[in-house]
């Protein structure tokens, strides 16, 4: 375990003005609080907080963050309280330790809905002080480095959580080295055979070709010296997981991968970066399409560098990154560079981003996502995204994730522009909206008055901002449609009991059903969240009660054993008046089918399950749902007329769903509640006589439908 003196020495190397007494006190306090506690490996537990603090010294972070690392588990796992930590080390440290504790308690790998909510909490904690997530990332890194002491199932759970959440988050924050190590450590747990095969192939390749990295590094240094450029050159083989991911993405074997080596050139000035680029391209052939200039167009987390890929020795492709020392510091530390110290003072790095602005830009677009799954999708899209830079016709730069389309470009400019988008031009040429944009392209958005977002845009858009705006607009449009449909359903249902759907009646129903207002009531009715029967019953319960001489739905079928229940088969939806056959079903009593149902053929060799049943001969209540498939003209008032006709036939609409929308016709499914087969035939004849109804039929088969219990 790193001693207090050794840890203080690590901090003093970059911050000679560090408060050694305060660090030593935190070390002693943490050691005392964790006394008698042990890790799964058998080591003293305090070795973990010390290791986390040591990781953060590599980022040259301030004293408060180092102290937080030493104490990050004290409030959660020891007798220390927030008040004790605040009194001894100050409110700043106590708040940071408390923030890390809350992050630790988030179960980010749980079910999707809960995971989305925990992501919200994670971003809230980050927005208060980003150092909280820096400590948490270092905590996760050390836990992954020592994960072998945990149970196999716990290893797998932590590795998946790391791969899905913490590694991409580290990358989004600009800490690429940490992302790569976290991914590789998780890869080692989740797919040890795959990782080992990559390592074996590396060993074989090195045996066949020798030390390629040493040779290419030497070549680059020689060329730069000849050009009079002072620079440092480093080379490395890429991490096993990085290579594995490339193999999966490109569907190529290891032997066909070319850019498995990466080289970094650190120059003194920005001008030298471009001179270095020219020198490298003169000496080696550049690979088309593999050049990115993040110096002129930096990433949102402050990352600046020139990326190029060239064909090196023996035609091997190598990736080269070129940057200055200050750029390199930000590239290594990402957003953490804001807190970095050098020679006892906060580093004045012009490329370090303001963490508050960075986290605000990251979370702004998620605020409008009410749906958990949509929020989670938007977060992951942003965390995993790489960036491309495109230009407006005026020359303004728009940053977008890799794979973005003109739709994303339009919404990046303004939501209003996105809503009105009808097309786009890329470099002056009209292109489809699903075109993938590339670096450096000039994009012009074509708009038109009256255009509204289309459902198909959700398959085209890739950015969280665009998808959020599209969904919100579609929901608003659907709401208007649902309100209109709900009004027709309510009118028909009230007429069914010889009443009118007045504003007062609807207000009474809204209060009874605990809905905020009439508009919301109608929207829920139109969206089939509540039924028209529920609305009418809320106002006139005495009119919706079943007559005493009606057959109870529980006793509607004759031939069942005492206490035996039945269900109507969803495939044929039998009605009173039709010949029926019962099939015994484990856990469902008897499932009743029409005698001509095609599904009965499946039970021909199981005659012991067949039950001879028939409908009660009495009057049945209108509670048996049947699905009708209609094709109707797309004209004003047609749907209202259909609802009226159904109401006039004393049938109740329980659900309505549009299946296909064309400019001239709509195809829709309507669930109506009926008494018997005679009422069904009468209703179909009435609808067939309507001039705007092109086709109407009973829908008899719905794959995957659930049985309804009576």
pLDDT digits (tens, 9 = 90+) for 372-431: 555 555 555 555 556 677 888 887 778 787 788 999 999 989 999 999 999 899 988 998
571-624: pLDDT as tens digits: 899 999 999 999 988 766 899 999 888 888 888 888 888 888 888 877 888 888
172 Cβ partners below 8 Å, 6+ apart?
A: 301, 362, 382, 383
Q: Are 690 and 638 in contact (CB under 8 A)?
A: no
Look up residue 302 and give its two tokens.
Answer: 């402050």
List pLDDT tens digits, range 429-468: 998 888 998 877 889 999 988 888 888 888 888 887 888 8
Contact between 160 and 115 (Cβ < 8 Å)? no
Model confidence band, residue 25 (pLDDT cutoffs 50, 70, 90)? very high
Domain covering 385-462 in this structure, CATH number: 3.10.20.30
Beta strand pairing status for 589-594 and 614-615?
unpaired
62 an active-site residue?
no
- Across-strand partners of 233? 265
Distances from the Cα of 145 to the Cα of 39, 158, 188, 489, angstroms: 13, 12, 10, 62
pLDDT of res. 226:
93
pLDDT at 117 over 60: no
Average pLDDT, the chain: 82
- How confident is residue 706, by pLDDT bands cut at 50, 70 and 90? very low
Instruction: Kindly provide the residue ranges of all beta strands, DSSP E only, lying in 500-579, ordered along the sequence.
Output: 557-558, 566-568
Listed residue (469, 413, 406, 410) closest to 434, CA to CA: 406
Q: Is the pLDDT of residue 357 over 70?
A: no
Statement: 4-190 belongs to CATH 1.10.3210.10 = yes
CATH 3.30.460.10 assigned to domain 194-346? The reply is: yes
Cα–Cα distance, 642 to 492 (Å, whole number): 10
Phi/psi of residue 192, nearest 5 degrees? -65, -35
pLDDT at residue number 314: 63
Q: Are 629 and 696 in contact (CB under 8 A)?
A: yes
At 548 the pLDDT is 44
Of 14-23, 385-394, 491-500, 632-641, least confident by mean pLDDT is 385-394
Which span out of 152-161, 298-307, 366-375, 656-665 was modeled with the highest average pLDDT?
152-161
In this structure, the strands spanning 566-568 and 589-594 are parallel
The three-point CA angle 264-267-269 to 5° equals: 140
Q: Which SS3 state, helix, strand or coil, does residue 301 take?
A: coil
| Whole-number pLDDT of residue 546 | 46
Lookup: tokens for 292: 């990115």
- Residue 109 DSSP SS3: coil
Q: Are 599 and 609 in contact (CB under 8 A)?
A: no
Cβ-contact 361, 261 below 8 angstroms: no
CA triple 156-161-162, angle to 5 deg: 95
Evaluate the CA torsion angle 246, 248, 252, 254 in order and state its sign: positive
Helices (H) and strands (E) in the chain, counts: 29, 24
* Of residues 323, 217, 293, the one with CA closest to residue 261: 217
pLDDT, one tens digit per residue, over 39-69 is 888 889 999 999 999 999 988 888 999 999 9
User: What's the rounded Cα separation, in Å, for the pair 517 and 524?
Assistant: 11
Q: Stretch 79-101: mean pLDDT, rounded? A: 89
- Calculate what percentage of the chain has a pLDDT beyond 70: 83
What pLDDT score was predicted for residue 629?
92
**pLDDT above 90 (res 279):** yes
Locate 194 and state its tokens: 């795959």
User: Which residues 6+ apart lie within 8 Å of 405 measured at CB?
Assistant: 433, 434, 435, 436, 437, 460, 461, 462
Beta strands in 194-284 (DSSP E): 231-237, 261-267
Domain definitions of the chain by residue range: 4-190, 194-346, 385-462, 466-543, 553-615
Report d(CA 296, CA 344) in Å as an integer. 31
Give 495's DSSP letter: H
In DSSP terms, 610 is beta-bridged to: 583
pLDDT for the residue 306: 94
pLDDT at residue number 225: 93
**Contact predicate 341/112, CB 8 Å:** no
Three-state DSSP string of 330-344: HHHHHHHHHHCEECC
Residue position matching structure tokens 């097309």: 423
Residue 76 annotated in active site: yes
Residue 340 has pLDDT above 80, yes or no: no
Per annotation, catalytic residue among 25, 31, 76, 117: 76
Q: What tokens does 360 get?
A: 């605000």
- Do residues 512 and 539 lie in contact, with contact meaning Cβ atoms separated by under 8 Å? yes
- Per-residue tokens: 483: 């309100």
Return the number of other C-beta atoms located less than 10 Å from residue 440's C-beta. 14
By three-state DSSP, how is residue 150 classified? coil
Q: Rounding to the nearest 10 degrees, give the CA dihedral for residues 8, 14, 17, 21.
A: -10
Q: Any idea of the CA torsion for 9, 12, 18, 22, to the nearest 10 degrees?
A: -10
Q: Closest by alpha carbon to 470, among 433, 518, 440, 503?
A: 433
Cβ neighbors of 314 (< 8 A, separation 6 or more) are: 209
Please give the pLDDT value at position 166.
Answer: 84
Query: What's the pTM value of the predicted model, to 2 decimals?
Result: 0.55
- 228 pLDDT more than 90: yes
**Token pair for 282:** 């003169």
Residues 6+ apart with CB under 8 A from 543: 497, 499, 536
CB 597 within 8 A of CB 701: no
Alpha carbon 392 to its chain centroid, in Å, reads 29
Nearest alpha-carbon partner for 132 in 177, 88, 98, 175: 98
CA 110 – CA 686 distance, rounded (Å): 53
Cβ pair 580, 574 in contact under 8 A: yes
Which pLDDT tens digit goes with each residue over 659-687? 877 767 888 899 899 989 989 998 998 88
Element (H, E) at 279: helix 270-283
Other CB atoms within 10 Å distance of the CB of residue 303: 20
Q: Which of 199-203, 504-508, 556-560 has the lowest mean pLDDT?
A: 199-203
Q: Is the pLDDT of residue 552 over 80?
A: no
Counting every residue written for the chain, the total comes to: 710
* Of 20, 25, 77, 478, catalytic: 77
End-to-end Cα distance, the chain: 68
Tokens 């920005």 belong to residue: 270
Min mean pLDDT across 18-27, 319-328, 696-705 is at: 696-705
């Amino acid at each position: 375990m790193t001693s207090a003196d050794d840890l203080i020495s690590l901090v003093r190397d970059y911050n000679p003005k560090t408060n050694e007494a305060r660090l030593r006190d935190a070390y002693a306090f943490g050691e005392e609080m964790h006394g008698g506690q042990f890790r799964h490996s058998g080591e003293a537990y305090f070795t973990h907080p010390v290791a986390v603090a040591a990781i953060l010294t590599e980022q040259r972070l301030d004293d408060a963050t180092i102290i937080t690392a030493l104490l990050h588990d004290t409030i959660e796992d020891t007798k220390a309280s927030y008040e004790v930590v605040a009194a001894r080390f100050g409110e700043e440290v106590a708040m940071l330790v408390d923030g890390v504790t809350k992050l630790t308690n988030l179960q980010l790998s749980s079910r999707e809905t809960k995971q989305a909510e925990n992501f919200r909490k994670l971003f809230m904690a980050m927005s208060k002080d980003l150092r909280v997530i820096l400590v948490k990332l270092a905590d996760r890194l050390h836990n992954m480095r020592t994960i072998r002491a945990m149970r196999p199932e716990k290893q797998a759970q932590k590795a998946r959580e790391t791969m899905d959440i913490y590694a991409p988050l580290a990358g989004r924050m600009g800490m690429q080295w940490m992302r790569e190590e976290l991914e590789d450590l998780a890869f080692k747990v989740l797919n040890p055979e795959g990782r080992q095969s990559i390592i074996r192939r590396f060993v074989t390749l090195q045996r066949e070709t020798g030390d390629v990295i040493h040779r290419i590094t030497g070549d680059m240094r020689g060329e730069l010296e000849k050009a009079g450029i002072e620079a440092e050159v480093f080379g490395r083989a890429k991490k096993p997981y990085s290579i594995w991911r490339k193999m999966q993405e490109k569907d190529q074997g290891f032997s066909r991968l070319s850019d498995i080596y990466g080289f970094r050139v650190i120059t003194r000035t920005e001008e030298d970066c471009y001179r270095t680029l020219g020198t490298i391209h003169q000496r080696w052939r550049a690979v088309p399409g593999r050049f990115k200039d993040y110096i002129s167009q930096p990433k949102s987390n402050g990352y600046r560098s020139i990326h190029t890929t060239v064909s090196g020795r023996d035609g091997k492709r190598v990736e080269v990154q070129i940057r200055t020392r200050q750029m390199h510091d930000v590239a290594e530390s990402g957003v953490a560079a804001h807190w970095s110290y050098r020679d006892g003072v906060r580093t004045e790095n012009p490329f370090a981003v303001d963490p508050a602005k960075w986290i605000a830009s990251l979370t702004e677009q998620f605020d409008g996502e009410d749906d958990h799954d949509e929020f989670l999708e938007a977060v992951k899209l942003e965390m995993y995204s790489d960036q491309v830079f495109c230009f407006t016709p005026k020359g303004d730069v728009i940053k977008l994730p890799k794979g973005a389309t003109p739709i994303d470009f339009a919404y990046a400019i303004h939501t209003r522009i996105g809503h009105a988008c009808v097309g786009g031009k890329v470099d002056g040429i009209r292109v489809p909206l699903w075109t993938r944009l590339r670096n450096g392209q000039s994009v012009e958005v074509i708009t038109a008055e009256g255009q509204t977002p289309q459902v198909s845009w959700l398959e085209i858009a890739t950015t969280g901002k665009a998808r959020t705006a599209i969904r919100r607009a579609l929901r608003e449009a659907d709401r208007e449609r649902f309100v209109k449909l709900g009004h027709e359903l309510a009118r028909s249902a009230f007429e069914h009991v010889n009443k009118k759907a007045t504003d007062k009646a609807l207000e009474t129903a809204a209060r009874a059903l605990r809905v905020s207002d009439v508009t919301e009531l109608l929207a829920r009715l139109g969206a089939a969240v509540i039924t028209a029967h529920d609305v009418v019953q809320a106002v006139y319960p005495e009119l919706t009660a079943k007559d005493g001489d009606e057959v109870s739905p529980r006793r509607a079928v004759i031939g069942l054993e005492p206490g035996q229940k039945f269900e109507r088969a969803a495939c044929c939806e039998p009605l009173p008046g039709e010949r029926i056959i019962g099939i015994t079903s484990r856990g469902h009593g008897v499932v009743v089918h029409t005698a001509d149902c095609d599904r009965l053929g499946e039970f021909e060799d199981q005659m012991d399950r067949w039950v001879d049943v028939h409908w009660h001969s009495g009057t049945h209540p209108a509670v048996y749902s049947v699905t009708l498939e209609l094709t109707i003209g797309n004209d004003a008032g047609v749907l209202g007329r259909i609802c009226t006709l159904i109401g006039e036939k004393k049938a109740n609409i329980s659900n309505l769903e549009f299946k296909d929308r064309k400019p001239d016709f709509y195809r829709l499914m309507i669930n109506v509640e009926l008494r018997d087969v005679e009422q069904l035939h009468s209703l179909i004849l009435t609808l067939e006589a309507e001039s705007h109804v092109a086709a109407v039929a009973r829908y008899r088969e719905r794959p995957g439908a659930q049985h309804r219990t009576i």
